[in-house]
Each structure stands twice: as C-alpha cells, then as structure tokens.
C-alpha cells in the first residue's frame, strides 16, 4: 500500500504581495505621524508662548522693583538737596532741590501705572505716592521756614516727623518689593514645571512619530522598483511644476524686495539717497533693463539725472526739458518701440538710419513721478526685449513709492529750512545760533583758537519804522540781512537775533580781524539805500558790539552778554560805530 505523501509546506508570498498587504496602513500611519508632529509643534509653540509670557511678567516685576528703588532714591535726593541747602544756603543746591522734585513725583506716578494689573500692589503704589507727597510737602515746609527764619527752621527740623515719614515710606516700598519677589519665585517654579512637561511631551511625540516614519520609509523602499517607471512618466510634469514654482518664487521675492524698498524709503534722509536706493532696487530686480532717475528742479523747467542703473539700450540726455518727454507732458506712463511706430521722446537717442525698418526690438518706458497732481521727476528705462506685464507693474509700483518718498523728503527739507532760517532776512534764526555757538566755541577752545561775536543793531529803527511803515522797515531789515550774507565767510554764522538786532559768530577770528570785519559791515550798511514802493530810503546806520573769547572759561551766554554790552556802549557813544567789548571804556581807562 502506497504511503501518503507529506503535506507541502506553504510558499511565502512574493514581496509585491507583502508590500500591497501593508499599503492600507500607510495613510493611517502617515496621518498619525503628522498628527504627532503637529501636536509636538503646537505644544512647542504653546510652551514658547507661555515662556514668553512668563518672561514678560518677570520683566514687569523687575520694572516694578526698579521703580520702587528709583522712587526711594529720588525722594532721598530731594531730601539731601534740601538739607544741604538749609545747611549751606548755596543756590546750586536749591536749584538741585527744585530739579529733583519732578523726578520723585514721576517715578511714583510710573509705579502706579506699572501696578494697575495688581490691585494689591496698585493700592500700595498709591500709598507710596501719597507718602512721597507728604514727605515732599514736609521738606518744602521746612525750606520755606528756613528762608524766613533759619533759627526757627532748625528748631522745627528737630521736631519734624521727616524720619518717621521716610521710615513709613520705606516700609511700604519694602512690602511692595517683597511681594514682587514672591511673585517672581512663583513664576520661576511654574516655568520650571511647564518646561519639564513640555520636554517630556516633545521627546515622546518625536520618538513615536520618527518610529512611524521609519516604518513608512521601509515600506516605501520595498516598492521603489515598481515606482521607477512612474517616476519617468512624472519627470516632465515635475519640470513644469518646478518652473511654475520658480516663477512664483521670483514674484514672491520681488514683492518682498518691493516691501523692503518701501520701508527703506521712509528712512531716507535726502533725495539723492532715495534715488540711489531706487536705482539699486531696479538693477537688482530687473537687471536686463537700464535707465536713470530724474528729479525736476523747483522751477519745474529742467529735470536732471539723479541716479543711473544698468546699461541703457537707448541713451537718454543728462538734462531734459519737461516738454521733451511725453510722460511729463501727459502725466502718464509713455512706452515706445521702434518697430511698432511708437512716438519716442525727444530726450532719447535716435535710432540709426534703417534700424526702424529692420524691426528694431529696443523699447523705452518713461514713468512720471507724480504726487498731488505735481510732477516731481521721471523714471526712464530701456531694454533689448519687450517687458512683461509683471515688470511693468513692478516699475509702476516703484514709481508710486518713490513719488511719495520724494514729496515727503521735499516737505521735510522745507520744514527743516523754515525751522532754522528767518523768513524775512534769510539768515539763521536765534535757535540755530544757540545750538551752534556752543559747538563752535568748544571747538575753538579745544584748539586754543579765538572766537569773536558781533552784536549788530540798526540805529533808530523804531523811528524809521514809525515814519515809513512796517513794510519799509521789513525791506530795510531784508537788505541788511543780504549785506551780511555777502560779507561773511562760509564758516561764519550770521543770525537774526531778534527785531532789528543781528548776531555774527566768527570762528577762529581774533579781536583785530573781527574789528576789521565789523567795520566793513558797518560801512556797507551806512552806504546802502533801499527802494520801496518807488521811494528811496536811507542810508541807515548801525551800531556794533564785539566780544572775543581767547580762553577756555567763556560760555556762549558770557560772550553774547559782552557783545551786547559793547553794543550798548556804541549806542551811548553816538551810534554808527564799532565798540570792542574786550577793551575797557574810555572813562575806565
């Protein structure tokens, strides 16, 4: 009898069958891994925000503690200044006392503002302010009593409650400080617990997600052979996608650069700086185009090149009249191309003979810089290939941003000049004198050089004004200012001090040189007449006082006072003369 054959062992499924068996688990595994990573990310962001919030509160607590210390220190400063004044009667200590009072009040007010989020601390802060005011009132009372009767003030200070007030103020401040330190300790403990929990969550989530991703990668590697054929078919689609992504990236980068450019324009200090930046941006974003930026002069009769960029395909003039550009005439963007019969602006170089018939591809684009219906300048570009719509939109956007920046810079420059110049005479004003006399005096003192100041006053100006009218008086002052501008050096500072008084600062000029310059100015004014409303007035005369600083102890106020005193001496001696304030009067000599 035949023996039964043994059962056949089961054959293992092929790798492709194994791969397809696990294919159903890929998506859930991927979703789970993504969810874990997202959860880790959310936990990380939440933890970072929590840490940032905790850091802000810690910073807030330190600010409160700092304001507490500043309040106490400012109050003690007021107390010590007042005590020093009562002991020495020095005016400087009295001035220091008056100057330190606002600081104490400001710090106590700032402490109240910082503690609005905490009712307990806010209440204590108000108590601190109240006690600071009580202490300041007590100090002020003793100071006033000292001014009336020093002996009574000393007796009253011995029975004053100042020490008790200060101890009470310090006690309230210590309570606030201890409470803030307790808050800091609690926040540090909470932050430590959150950090430990966040670390455990992040590490556990990452390990689990990485394990799932490793299993997915193993499964995908098993199907790698089968996917190669599909990869060849998708290469072309991928290339198209990459080209699309590159174009999108280029547009995104352009928008980012344009936004960055708009922000930088707001920080430009001069028109030239804005133009140079614009040229750099255009050359960076569209390097295949070349051109230049023009700025219209204030007279609106000529535009001059302010910046260049790239290589111009069609050269443009360095200077152009607004009528030579169709864009400036019409107030609109003007584009021309040789082969399509476009009208080219007169400031552009003409094409060579026969180039137009041969289909010259070069083109030009003029974009006016306009703001509030006023022409400010021009962007002129040219290239060898026609521009894309995206390029045109970019150039238009740059022109709009630049127009706003130009009008803002021009307005800023106008305001700056108006703040430094006297509108009637064109000279610098008193504010400019006060700011620059100190600097020039210190510079000359460092270099051991002299510095002279002339104080000039038009003689009998009030009588001239009353006789001929204010308009004639203004005309006389304007003429005096013009003469001073013509007779001073570039490094001198000529200012209208006020009314009919003028001041001239002569750096590095000794008394002899200043006297010579003053005599020239006096003689020029004495020989000048003015014509107003077809009437001739003058000549007028002036008196000039001179003061010179040759040491390192003079101050601007002392120089101006010395020159003013010399001016009054010149008037007292008969006017129409120059008096050297460095020399004593004849009676004193």
Total Cβ atoms within 10 A of residue 494: 25
What value does the mean pLDDT take over residues 171-192? Answer: 86
What is the average per-residue pLDDT within 18-33? 71
Taking 60 as the threshold, does the pLDDT of residue 576 lie above it? yes
> What angle (nearest 5°) sits at the alpha carbon of residue 579, between those of residues 427 and 531?
45
**CATH architecture assigned to 264-350+357-418:** 2-Layer Sandwich (3.30)
**Cα distance between residue 495 and residue 513, in whole Å:** 19
Residue with tokens 């002020």: 140
pLDDT in the model for residue 351: 62
pLDDT at position 344: 83
Residue (of 144, 110, 150, 142) closest to 126 by Cα position: 110
Please name every residue paired with 241 in a beta bridge, in sequence order, or none if there are none: none
Q: Could you confirm whether 192 is annotated as catalytic? A: no
Structure tokens of 246?
């590159």
- Residue 352: what pLDDT? 55
Q: State which fold the 27-201 domain adopts.
A: 1.20.120
Tokens of 4: 């039964």
Residue 3: strand, helix, or coil: coil
pLDDT tens for residues 246-291?
Answer: 778 877 877 888 888 888 888 888 888 888 988 888 888 888 889 9
> At residue 401, does pLDDT exceed 90?
no
Confidence of residue 158 (pLDDT cuts 50, 70, 90): low
Return the domain boundaries, the chain.
Answer: 27-201, 264-350+357-418, 430-580
Residue 507 tokens read as: 């750096």
More confidently predicted of 453 and 163? 453
* CATH number corresponding to 430-580: 3.30.70.270
Most confident segment among 102-111, 222-231, 300-309, 452-461 = 452-461
**Which of the two residues, 315 and 2, has the higher pLDDT score?**
315
pLDDT in tens, 61-70: 888 889 888 8
With beta carbons less than 8 A apart as the criterion, state whether 377 and 399 touch.
no
Q: Which long-range contacts (CB under 8 A, 24 or more apart) does 307-310 make?
A: 307/272, 307/275, 307/276, 307/278, 307/279, 308/279, 309/279, 309/280, 309/282, 309/283, 310/282, 310/283
Percent of the chain with pLDDT over 70: 91
Q: Place 125 in a pLDDT band, splitting at 50, 70 and 90.
A: confident
Q: For tokens 């101006």, name the residue.
A: 560
Q: Taking the CA atoms of the chain, what radius of gyration do you get in angstroms?
A: 41
Average pLDDT over residues 511-535: 91
In DSSP terms, which residues pair with 580 in a beta bridge? 546
Note whether 27-201 and 264-350+357-418 share their fold.
no
Q: Which of 419, 519, 533, 428 is nearest to 474 (CA)?
A: 533
pLDDT greater at residue 406 or residue 251: 406
- Cα of 577 vs its chain's centroid, Å: 48
Instruction: Work out the burial of residue 401: count CB atoms within 10 Å of its CB; fewer than 13 is exposed, 13-18 middle, 19 or more buried.
Output: buried
Helix (H, G, I), strand (E, B) or coil at 503: strand
pTM of the model: 0.43
Q: Dihedral sign for Cα 238, 239, 241, 246, please.
A: positive
Beta-sheet pairing, 451-458 with 542-549: antiparallel
Place of tokens 């101890």: 167
**What sign does the CA torsion over 340, 341, 343, 344 have?**
positive
Render pLDDT for 544-573 as a digit per residue (tens, 0 to 9): 999 999 777 688 999 999 999 999 999 999
In this prediction, residue 159 carries a pLDDT of: 56
Percent of the chain surpassing pLDDT 90: 22
**β partners of residue 270:** none
233: three-class secondary structure by DSSP: helix
Mind listing the pLDDT tens digit for each residue in 532-550?
888 888 788 999 999 999 7
Instruction: Determine contact, residues 550/566, Cβ cutoff 8 Å.
Output: no
Token code pair at residue 488: 């001073």
Please pick, among 223, 491, 500, 573, the residue that the annotation labels catalytic: 500
pLDDT tens digits along 208-237: 888 878 887 777 777 777 777 777 777 888
Q: Give CA–CA dist 53/56, Å, rounded.
A: 5
Q: What is the pLDDT of residue 11?
A: 52
- Whether 268 contacts 253, CB under 8 Å: no
Q: What's the confidence (pLDDT) of residue 342? A: 65
Mean pLDDT of 154-182: 79
Q: What does pLDDT average to over the chain?
A: 83
Q: How many residues does the chain have?
A: 589
């Amino acid at each position: 009898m035949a023996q039964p054959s043994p059962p056949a062992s089961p054959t293992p499924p092929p790798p492709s069958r194994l791969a397809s068996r696990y294919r159903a688990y890929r998506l859930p595994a991927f979703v789970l891994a993504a969810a874990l990573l997202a959860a880790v990310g959310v936990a990380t962001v939440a933890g970072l925000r929590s840490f940032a919030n905790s850091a802000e509160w810690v910073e807030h607590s330190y600010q409160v503690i700092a304001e507490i210390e500043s309040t106490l220190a400012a109050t003690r400063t007021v107390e010590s200044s007042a005590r020093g004044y009562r002991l020495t009667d020095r005016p400087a200590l009295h001035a220091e006392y008056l100057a330190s009072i606002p600081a104490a009040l400001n710090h106590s007010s700032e402490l109240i503002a910082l503690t609005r989020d905490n009712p307990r601390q806010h209440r204590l802060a108000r108590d601190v302010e109240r006690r600071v005011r009580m202490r300041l009132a007590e100090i002020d009372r003793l100071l006033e009593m000292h001014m009336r009767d020093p002996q009574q003030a000393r007796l009253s200070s011995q029975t004053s409650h100042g020490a008790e007030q200060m101890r009470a103020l310090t006690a309230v401040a210590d309570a606030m400080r201890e409470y803030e330190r307790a808050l800091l300790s609690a926040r540090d403990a909470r932050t430590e617990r959150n950090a430990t929990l966040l670390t455990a969550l992040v590490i556990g989530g990452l390990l689990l997600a990485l394990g799932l991703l490793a299993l997915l990668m193993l499964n995908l590697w098993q199907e790698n052979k089968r996917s190669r054929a599909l990869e060849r078919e998708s290469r072309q689609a991928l290339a198209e996608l990459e080209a699309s992504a590159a174009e999108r990236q280029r547009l995104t980068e352009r928008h980012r650069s344009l936004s960055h450019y708009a922000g930088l324009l707001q920080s430009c200090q001069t028109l030239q700086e804005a133009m140079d930046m614009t040229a750099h941006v255009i050359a960076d974003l569209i390097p295949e185009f070349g051109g230049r930026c023009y700025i219209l002069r204030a007279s609106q009769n000529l535009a001059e090149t302010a910046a260049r960029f790239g290589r111009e395909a069609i050269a443009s003039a360095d200077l152009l009249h607004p009528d030579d550009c169709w864009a400036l005439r019409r107030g609109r963007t003007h584009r021309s191309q040789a082969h399509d019969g476009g009208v080219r602006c007169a400031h552009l170089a003409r094409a060579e003979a026969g180039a137009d018939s041969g289909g010259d591809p070069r083109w030009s684009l003029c974009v006016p810089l306009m703001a509030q219906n006023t022409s400010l300048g021009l962007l002129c570009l040219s290239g060898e290939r026609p521009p894309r719509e995206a390029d045109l939109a970019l150039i238009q956007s740059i022109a709009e941003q630049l127009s706003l920046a130009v009008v803002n810079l021009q307005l800023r420059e106008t305001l700056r000049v108006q703040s430094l110049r006297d509108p009637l005479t064109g000279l610098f004003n008193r504010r400019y004198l006060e700011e620059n006399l100190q600097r020039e005096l210190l510079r000359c003192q460092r270099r051991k050089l002299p510095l002279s100041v002339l104080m000039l006053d038009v003689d009998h100006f009030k009588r001239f004004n009353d006789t001929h009218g204010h308009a004639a008086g203004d005309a006389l002052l304007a003429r005096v200012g013009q003469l001073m501008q013509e007779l001073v050096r570039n490094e001198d500072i000529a200012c209208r001090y006020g009314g009919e008084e003028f001041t001239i600062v002569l750096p590095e000029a000794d008394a002899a040189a200043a006297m010579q310059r003053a005599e020239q100015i006096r003689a020029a004014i004495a020989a000048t007449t003015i014509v107003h409303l077809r009437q001739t007035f003058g000549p007028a005369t002036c008196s000039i006082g001179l003061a010179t600083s040759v040491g390192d102890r003079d101050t601007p106020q002392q120089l101006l006072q010395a020159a003013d005193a010399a001016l009054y001496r010149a008037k007292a001696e008969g006017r129409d003369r120059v008096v050297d304030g460095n020399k004593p009067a004849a009676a004193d000599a």
